[in-house]
């Protein structure tokens, strides 16, 4: 995205914050406007007594009428598509969740965890999230802003006095919001190759003093992993906790994300986890995960199951205000800089996106006139996509453990169906097979032997249910 690297900083706003994106210039001083104030004396209820908020989406602008899912939105069909994706090990394993109005419509596993030691993927199988970790970093930062420990326009150097950048006074001007929206001024993916060569994060932070800058701080977008992870040092300094402890205590635990963890040790300690896979001849070879990008935990350190991610989508949709209040989410999802390169990076983006921007750990798209909050992730042997469509109160996440682009088509297929667009062949599967799987699943669910218990055991072949690539 070299063209995007020199794009002037933008603040992308729309009617009610959830309409189509309209670029609008803004200066660094405006970052103070991002701070929101919780109600005086408000206390979150204990997680054990918290309930999912009901009624219209809390993230819709006042007076905005919620829109239903389009006719023909068929979760069973999407599940059959996921089963078709893992058939014949086209992808080793996959997990997918769909949530709507605070309810989990589907959270299932498909395929296997490891071609060398096959176990079925289920709703509690843990995957490495790669850059799907970035929204967690933005959210924990926002919680500290909410309590007054930080401001969005707080200077990173106030918490990291030794930080230096190549241009004079650049480090002193770098704000928390600049870091979370990739406006540090460095070239794209600065020092990622060094991370891949097992370089230590601390040594790379010191080397930022010599890294070439393509623009002044705050003046352009350029995607980062090392520099993005500076926010972890800020969170630690402001909270008095290690970054991973802060996220675990304030996000994972209260949301009931019981399978979630940070780091290589976290995924290896999971009772069931999906091994990463790379191509080997005509098939797949499983690997042990590399520790490299775990060293930049805010950018790429989270491990989680699809059950966890369903709860994360519900919370990010505004339906867990005891943990993530809606005003905070509106701020996190507010785009700050234009990213036009995103509109050309894949087939569905080229056809569907009318605008694209980056917020505070989230991407925000105009998807055929509909606002979508999104992020993708990729690291050796793992891939993932996550999206929310606020006007429909819909969330989707897909995780898989093989270096394949095939499952990517599930996401635009589901989004198109939600808004009633004519079907496109985004997904390279045999749709006769999909129809056969749907019939087989329906017959199995109706069987007296399976009955209502089929959902717990998984439906059809490859399904199991329960209620060196750089992170991108």
Residues 6+ positions from 430 with CB-CB distance below 8 Å = 84
Please give the Cα distance from 353 to 366 (Å, whole number).
5
Angle made by CA atoms 117, 121, 124, in degrees to the nearest 5: 120
**Among 251, 249, 298, 304, which Cα is nearest to 97's?**
304
| Residue ranges of domains in the chain | 47-135+258-465
Measured between alpha carbons, how far is 310 from 107 in angstroms, rounded to an integer?
A: 7
Kindly give the residue spans of alpha helices, DSSP state H, lying in 256-340.
Answer: 263-268, 297-300, 306-314, 326-332
Within 10 angstroms of residue 301's Cβ, the number of other Cβ atoms is: 27
Distance CA 197, CA 291 (A): 11
The topology under which CATH files domain 47-135+258-465 is: Beta-lactamase (3.40.710)
Q: If we measure between CA atoms, which residue out of 148, 402, 452, 175 comes closest to residue 286?
A: 402
pLDDT of residue 457: 34
Q: Where are the alpha helices (DSSP H) in 156-296?
A: 170-173, 176-180, 192-196, 201-207, 230-239, 243-247, 253-255, 263-268
pLDDT at 431: 75
In angstroms, the CA 43 to CA 65 distance is 29
The predicted pLDDT at position 469 comes to 53
- Stated length of the chain: 472
Give this prediction's pTM.
0.87
Phi, psi of 85 (to 5 degrees): -65, -40
State the DSSP code for 186. B
Letter string b/e over residues 139-172, b meaning 16 or more CB atoms within 10 A of that residue's CB: bbbbbbbbeebbbbbbbbbebbeebbbeeeebbe
pLDDT tens, N- to C-terminus, the chain (472 residues): 333 333 333 333 333 332 333 222 222 222 334 533 333 333 333 333 457 888 777 788 777 877 999 999 999 999 999 999 999 999 999 999 999 999 999 999 999 999 999 999 999 999 999 999 999 999 999 999 999 999 999 999 999 999 999 999 999 999 999 999 999 999 999 999 999 999 999 999 999 999 999 999 999 999 999 999 999 999 999 999 999 999 999 999 999 999 999 999 999 999 999 999 999 998 999 999 999 999 999 999 999 999 999 999 999 999 999 999 999 999 999 999 999 999 998 999 999 999 999 999 999 999 999 999 999 999 999 999 999 999 999 999 999 999 999 999 999 999 999 999 998 999 998 877 888 888 888 888 777 655 433 333 333 335 555 434 556 6
Is 46 exposed, middle or buried (CB count within 10 Å of its CB: 0-12, 13-18, 19+)? exposed
| Separation CA 435–CA 375 (nearest Å) | 30
User: Measured at the alpha carbon of residue 180, what is the angle toward residues 176 and 182, in degrees to the nearest 5?
Assistant: 115
Token pair of 47 as six digits: 């997680």
Q: How far apart are CA 155 and CA 174, in angstroms?
A: 6
Q: What is the C-alpha to C-alpha distance for residues 145 and 31, in angstroms, rounded to an integer?
A: 12
């Amino acid at each position: 995205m070299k063209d995007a690297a020199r794009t002037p900083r933008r603040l992308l706003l729309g009617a009610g914050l959830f309409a189509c994106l309209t670029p609008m210039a803004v200066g660094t001083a405006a970052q103070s406007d991002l701070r929101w104030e919780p109600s005086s004396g408000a206390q979150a209820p204990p997680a054990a007594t918290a309930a999912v908020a009901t009624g219209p989406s809390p993230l819709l602008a006042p007076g905005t009428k919620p829109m239903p899912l389009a006719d023909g939105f068929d979760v069973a069909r999407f599940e059959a598509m996921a089963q078709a994706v893992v058939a014949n090990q086209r992808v080793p394993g996959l997990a997918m969740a769909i949530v709507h109005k605070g309810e989990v419509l589907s959270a299932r596993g498909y395929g296997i965890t490891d071609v060398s030691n096959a176990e079925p993927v289920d709703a509690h199988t843990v995957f490495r999230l790669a850059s799907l970790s970035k929204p967690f970093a933005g959210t924990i930062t926002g919680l500290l802003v909410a309590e007054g420990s930080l401001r969005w326009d707080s200077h990173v150097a106030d918490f990291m006095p030794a930080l230096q950048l190549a241009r004079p006074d650049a480090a002193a001007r770098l704000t928390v919001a600049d870091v979370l929206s990739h406006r540090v001024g460095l070239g794209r993916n600065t020092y990622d190759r060094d991370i891949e060569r097992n370089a230590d994060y601390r040594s790379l932070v010191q080397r930022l003093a010599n890294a070439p800058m393509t623009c002044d701080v705050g003046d352009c977008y350029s995607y980062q992993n090392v520099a993005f992870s500076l926010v972890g040092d800020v969170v630690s300094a402001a909270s008095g906790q290690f970054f991973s402890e802060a996220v675990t205590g304030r996000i994972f635990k209260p949301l009931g994300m019981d399978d979630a963890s940070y780091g290589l040790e976290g995924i290896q300690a999971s009772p069931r986890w999906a091994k990463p896979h790379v191509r080997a001849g005509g098939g797949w070879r499983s690997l042990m995960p590399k520790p490299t990008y775990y060293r930049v935990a805010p950018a790429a350190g989270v491990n989680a199951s699809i059950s966890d991610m369903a709860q994360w989508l519900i919370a990010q949709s505004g339906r867990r205000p005891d943990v993530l209040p809606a005003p905070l989410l509106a701020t996190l999802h507010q785009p700050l800089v234009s990213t036009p390169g995103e509109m050309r990076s894949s087939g569905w983006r080229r056809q569907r996106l009318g605008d694209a921007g980056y917020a505070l750990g989230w991407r925000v798209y105009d998807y055929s006139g509909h606002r979508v909050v999104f992020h993708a992730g990729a690291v050796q042997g793992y891939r993932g996509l996550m999206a929310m469509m606020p006007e429909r109160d819909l969330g989707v996440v897909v995780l898989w453990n093989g270096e394949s682009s095939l499952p990517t088509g599930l996401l635009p297929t589901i989004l198109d169906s939600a808004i009633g667009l004519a079907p496109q062949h985004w997904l390279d599967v045999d749709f006769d097979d999909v129809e056969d799987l749907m019939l087989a699943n329906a017959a199995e669910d109706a069987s007296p032997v399976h009955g209502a218990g089929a959902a717990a055991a998984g439906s059809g072949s490859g399904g199991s249910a329960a209620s060196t690539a750089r992170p991108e």
